[in-house]
Amino acid sequence: MQYIKGITFGSFAGRGSFEQNAAYQSMDLLVQRMNANFIMLVPNGVQETPQSETIDYSTPATMSDEELTRMVDYIHGKGLAVGLKPTVNCKNGTWRAHINFFDKDVPCEPKWSTWFEAYTDFQLHFARLAETTGCEMFLPGCEMVMSERRDREWRRLIGDIRTVYGGLVSYNTDKYQEDNVTWWDCVDVISSSGYYPIDDWDSQLDRIEKTVRKFNKPFFFAEAGCMSVAGASKVPNDWRVRGGQALAEQADWYAEMFRKAGSRDFVNGFCLWDWAWRQRSQKEALKDCGYDFCGKPAESVISDFYRNVL
């Protein structure tokens, strides 16, 4: 597998976003400045609460198939590979990791069996689109922590995906969960979210490596990032951190991640979070405290690493 120098683009973009010229201008800027070879696109599915059994991917929260297809074609035309990662989110704001049901189906209660039917429909819809557009990788979800113990259902889902999609199949587990997933043998590539504290990379990489060696699969960080706010480098997964702007801290976090993870031969790359589909001005970027790194010092750290790696 080619080393992934990836960036997540336009995550959870709503309907019509990829129809706008701003989205293509943003993509052009990414291609010009970041030395990337891989783009992750993340179409959105919505369920009302963590215990809802239906998933809707036809609302304004989800980009249309037509605009997604056009963007995939445009990225391929630029010479970059594409990964498609359909991701479900809860409308009430609860993080998707907490989607959960009773282990055994109980009459008159929400059920895993019903939810997985809806989730399979959601994933197969986009797996077919990934096949028709030639996406190089398909990831059926992200950070679905409480569902990951459902070994049989995940194996069935991945088997169903392989009936309609012929490319590489991965799955993006959450930070600290790499060694909890039991069904890595049925995917082609292991991946996870690398939101680890700046001073804890060695211990986490040691732990992850044991799982990667056990299953003998390629591995990459399908997400990784840090906000540009004071304190974020210690808890890069926590988007609720509030403090003063810290552009250098964000850049330092990336530099340390690349130094530590980039030296491990089992890490086959990164897909960084994230690059907005509509970019702000340089002046506005330097005032931002979020994960976006365009126009911030972290951009140069990332671009230089991607230019020089392999």
pLDDT recorded at residue 285: 83
| Amino acid making up residue 227 | M
C-alpha 17/C-alpha 67 separation (Å) is 8
Are 180 and 154 in contact by the 8 Å Cβ rule? The answer is no
Please provide residue 138's backbone torsions phi and psi, each rounded to the nearest 5 degrees: -130, 130
User: For the CA atoms of 88, 90, 94, 100, what is the dihedral angle to 10 degrees?
Assistant: -70
DSSP letters of 109-176? S--HHHHHHHHHHHHHHHHHHHHHHT-SEE---B--GGGTT-HHHHHHHHHHHHTT--SEEEEEEPTT
- Name the one residue in this structure whose structure tokens are 């391929």: 76
Of 240, 51, 83, 266, nearest to 178 by C-alpha is 266
- Residue 105 DSSP SS3: coil
- Is the entire prediction scored with pTM above 0.75? yes
Specify the CATH number for 4-226+267-280; select among 3.20.20.80, 3.40.50.720, 3.40.50.300, 3.30.300.30. Answer: 3.20.20.80
pLDDT recorded at residue 240: 86
Distances (CA, A) of 268 to 203, 218, 223, 259, 264: 18, 7, 13, 14, 9
Helix and strand totals (H; E) in the chain: 8, 10
pLDDT recorded at residue 98: 98
Radius of gyration of the chain (CA): 19
Which residues are paired to 4 by β-bridges? 269
Of 201, 199, 154, 200, nearest to 173 by C-alpha is 154
Contacts of 305-308 spanning 24+ positions with Cβ under 8 A:
305/254, 305/258, 305/262, 306/5, 306/34, 306/35, 306/36, 306/37, 307/35
Please provide residue 208's backbone torsions phi and psi, each rounded to the nearest 5 degrees: -65, -40
| pLDDT < 50: residue spans in the chain | none
